[in-house]
A and B are shown apart, each in its own frame.
Chain A
Amino acid sequence: MKRLLFASALLLACLTAAAHAESPRIEAPAKATVVPFELLPSGHMAVMVKVNGQGPYRLIFDTGAPITLLDNKVAKAAGLLKDTPEPLFTFFGSKGEVKVKELQVGDQKVSDMTAIVMDHPTVEAISRAFEKKLGGPINGIVGFPFFARFKMTLDYQAKTVTLLPNGFKPPDVMKAMMTAITEASSGVPKMLAPAAQWGMIAAKSAGDKEDGITIKSVLPDSPAAEAGLKAGDRLLTLDGRWTDSLVDLYMAAGYAKPGETAPVVIKRGGKELTLKVKPAAGM
């Protein structure tokens, strides 16, 4: 029963998720593009987007959206549904995953990008509320598969999104979700490993609720020793990340690369000090 329920949820999620292996290309100028956005009275940002050369359509620019979403109207006009059989059952007009040949925001174009076709009730509610004021509807959401390919600068004062291609290749979100679900229910603990050698041992007792973690010992001639760290120091941050627990400490050390200087903030004798540690390669 449990397996059946779980499997059907997964199935629902990956109806059409398979079979798209090739990675999308960016056809964009290597320079930054400044794209104006409309700030909706609800606090959302809307940008004008061309889909397969059609439009422009008004879409919400949403850093919290793992996928890009287009409504049925846009999907039809842009010819996205040609190869998609009409499903027997749809949920909010969902047609599942489609390939967009070209999605364009400002001068920046992304080719062969995955999007989901659906009449999202929240988007519709926002569209209904502001359609008159905006002079047109809102047809979807610009999400991660588009914006991840750019260094983006969001400025609510200037009301602009600046996009500069950064070479980042976004992974397939559906696949990542399946892996995450499997891992979360596997019961296998996650292994954390520092990316470099520091040469120090830290500990925090169960009853210790104060910020930071205490350094128990520092190995002689280690990167930590060379930077001036000492046993008894209270480590508050490592490379800008809070170190309030062992998990925190190992997470932070997982980001700090060997050979690159990382600032650490410690408390010693009631005073805060910033030391620079250059962790060494190794494990």
Chain B
Amino acid sequence: MKSFWPCAALAVLCLAPRARGDAPPKPVAKSYEVPYRLTAVKHIVVRAKINGKGPFNFILDTGAPALFIAPDAAKKAGVDADAKGWGVFDRFEIEGGVVLKNADGRVEKPFQLDGMNGLGLAGVELHGMIGYNILAHYRMEIDFTKDKMIWTPLDYKPDEPKRVGNGGGGAGGLEVMGQLMKFLGMLSGAKAEPDYTFRGFFGVDLEDKEGMEYPVVKSVLADGPAAKAGLKAGDRVTRFTGRTVQNVEDVRRFARKLTGDEAVKLTVQRGDEKEPIEISFKTGEGL
């Protein structure tokens, strides 16, 4: 499996490229901010909608000679491959506003994707890779200290990528690793796309204050769940869902364990009052 790693997204075209020549986007001076996710295993993943369907998740991959898209995703987008395995995507829109018309792509699933989806390695279901034939149309600034890339269209028409290999697997036997990972993933019960829950909405801002042993309510949002339950600015939160808290980070940590529509119980001290006050509310489903 370690040996499998390096190639996680290095792919080779194994079939003759199609004889199409169109697809470059019209060059414009505008730059785009393209959001991305850096996955657990350090792939840059961008989202794209194809013919309005999706979004689908793609690895940004200079190690791939072309756009690769899994057959089931292509089918959802209503695109059929030709006899040589190429499909034409009328409208390929990358999150952030980059739109390609008549983009060419390989309709096939590189074995690496099966493996990564099988083991749930990316934390998101991967549908393909965006490679050279698309990327070469842009100047791309990638900086992991920022949460978006900058793409600027170039007035440049890349050559068709040449095939490498002799029409066989091309990966020289590494394909088996993808199948192995998929198989192990099935055994372990891993999912490509995790289930999500949302932390409920409180409508409260807490702060740590010098000399205070508990976090203090800085403000409550009017009509928010906490305000409706009677929480007030200045209240000191001593317990959160039954557990003692000493600072805002404690509250955040326990809040991460809430399942979404749970009742939240706070114990607070208000002003000089001796008796603690119990406040409970059901978290809202908002932000």
* Partner-A contacts on B (CB < 8 A): 1-3, 5-13, 33, 35, 39-44, 47, 49, 52, 55, 59-66, 95-96, 119-123, 129, 131-133, 135-145, 147-148, 154-156, 158-159, 161-165, 170-174, 180-181, 184-185, 187-191, 194-199, 201-206, 218-219, 221-224, 251-252, 255-259, 284-287
Contact = CB atoms under 8 A, between A and B. Distances in A.
Given A44-B65, A282-B202, A63 B142 contact: yes
A190 B203 contact: no
Contacts of B164: 42, 125-126, 129
Nearest to B117: A184
A134 to B, nearest CB: 13
Contacts of B41: 66, 173, 176-177, 180
A157 B155 contact: yes
A242 B165 CA distance: 39
A157 to B, nearest CB: 4
Contacts of B196: 189-192, 247, 250
B134 to A, nearest CB: 10
A151 interface: yes
A282 B198 contact: no
Interface residues of A, number: 104
A81 interface: no
A191 B197 contact: yes
Main secondary structure of the interface of A (DSSP, over half): mixed
B221 A219 contact: yes
Contacts of A192: 196-199
A42 B161 contact: yes
A206 interface: no
A143 B204 contact: no
Given A63-B60, A156-B135, A283-B202, A199 B287 contact: yes
Contacts of B204: 282-283
15 contacts: A6-B184, A13-B2, A42-B161, A44-B63, A62-B61, A64-B44, A67-B6, A94-B2, A152-B141, A157-B139, A183-B194, A191-B256, A193-B256, A219-B222, A283-B204
Given A62-B62, A122-B171, A156-B132, 8 more contacts: A13-B1, A154-B135, A155-B140, A184-B121, A187-B189, A194-B201, A283-B199, A283-B206
Interface in A165-193: 166-168, 170-171, 173, 176-177, 179-181, 183-185, 187, 189-193
B43 to A, nearest CB: 6
A110 B136 CA distance: 27
A2 interface: yes
A199 B2 contact: no
A122 B174 contact: yes
Nearest to A156: B136
Contact of A64 (B2, B64, B258): B64
A166 B145 contact: yes
B7 A120 contact: yes
Given A64-B60, A242-B55, A12 B1 contact: yes
Contacts of B284: 201
A65 interface: yes
